[in-house]
Amino acid sequence: MHKVLTFALSALLTLSLISLANAEMSEKAQMGRELFYDPSFGGTLDPYGKPAKVTGLSCTDCHADFDEAANPDGRIRSGHSIVGVPHRGQAKGGMIKGDMFRRAAGGGGFCYQHFLQRIPSDKVDPIAIPEEQAEALMAYFEHVSGDNKGPQFEIQMLDKEAASAAADTILAMKGDSTRGWKLYSRACNVCHLTAKKSGIGPQLVRSKPPADLEKRKHKIAAYVRRGGFVMPFFATDRLSDQDVADIVTFIAELTNKKK
Ligand code: HEC
Ligand code: HEC
């Protein structure tokens, strides 16, 4: 009898805790969550549609919305988790701060125009995102963050020379293609489906092998560190030099494989 009562009480307590946690998400935060996951956020996926056609990327392709250090899911995203964004107070290495910070969804306003709407980074206005949507995203960031300050990191934006030097370091390392295959799946596959198929990003292994394989490997390594037009860069805390060396070795091996 006693046991049954304790069980019933603890079940009741668990249930009410669960509903409390669910009830906590405000309507605004729920809207932010949906925007965060929406591949048509910021435009339309209809190639003939208006307004602006979007890339089909969603925030969740490049950012986790949970504590990746505490509960890793195996994916390697170019951006850091949005847990902790409201505590940061500035973004883009201090370019977005003060009153602009909230209005730019903690820096997400930059990504909105650049990665979703394909606007060149020097033309991006981080507060062009509609205010209601920026607020909804911030409400969601607050919801998932609580007191969690999130990951600590510094933005690593490399110019051409720095990316080329980074590639030199990477190519001097011995790569492991089996490990590279796994890492490719976890980091690149979201946009470059498999190395022989294109997705949002192009096919990385073409049917005609490159004339100069070393040059090709160098380009891939530099591209990962610097990013491209829409492709985001991967900083050293997302993919280490050894990780990139492994990925490059994997792609290079496929390049030479005849089927
Ligand atoms: C194609 C990949 C990609 C997409 C899509 C993307 N981001 Fe980002 N985002 C990045 C990268 C890379 C950075 C810079 C490094 C970092 O913050 O981890 C960044 C930076 C940020 C930052 C600022 C971090 C800081 O403190 O400087 C926030 C906030 C953010 N993104 C939110 C968003 C939101 C919201 C969306 C959807 C509207 C989004 N991002 C879409 C890749 C992306
Ligand atoms: C969020 C999407 C995304 C992710 C993730 C991504 N790429 Fe890309 N990548 C692209 C897009 C889009 C392009 C086309 C050029 C541009 O817009 O930057 C591209 C272009 C490239 C290019 C230049 C084209 C070529 O064949 O020379 C290389 C190299 C490349 N990606 C390698 C990688 C590798 C390696 C990874 C994983 C570490 C990766 N990419 C992850 C989207 C992505």
Q: Write the pLDDT tens digit of every residue in 184-223.
A: 999 999 999 888 888 899 999 988 889 999 999 999 999 9
Cβ atoms of 111 and 59 closer than 8 Å: yes
The candidate with the shortest Cα–Cα distance to 57, out of 106, 112, 109, is 112
Measured by CA distance, the residue closest to atom 12 of ligand 2 is 201
The candidate with the shortest Cα–Cα distance to 67, out of 146, 134, 136, 156, is 146
Alpha-carbon span 13 to 31, nearest angstrom: 29
pLDDT at position 227 is 97
Ligand lying nearest the CA atom of residue 196: 2
Q: Which amino acid, 134? A: A
Alpha-carbon span 112 to 121, nearest angstrom: 11
Q: Which atom of ligand 1 is nearest to the CA of 233?
A: 12
Ligand lying nearest the CA atom of residue 35: 1
Quick one: tokens of 175?
A: 């790569």
pLDDT at position 248 is 97
- Tens digits of per-residue pLDDT, 119-173? 999 999 999 999 999 999 999 999 999 999 999 998 888 999 999 999 999 999 9
Alpha-carbon span 164 to 159, nearest angstrom: 9
Does pLDDT of 1 surpass 90? no
pLDDT at position 198 is 86
pLDDT at position 195 is 80
- Answer yes or no: is the C-beta of 85 below 6 A from any ligand 1 atom: yes
Q: What is the percent of the chain where pLDDT is above 70? A: 90
pLDDT at position 196 is 81
The candidate with the shortest Cα–Cα distance to 124, out of 115, 136, 116, 114, is 114
Cβ atoms of 53 and 230 closer than 8 Å: no
Cβ atoms of 69 and 48 closer than 8 Å: no
Placement of tokens 């790569």 in the chain? 175
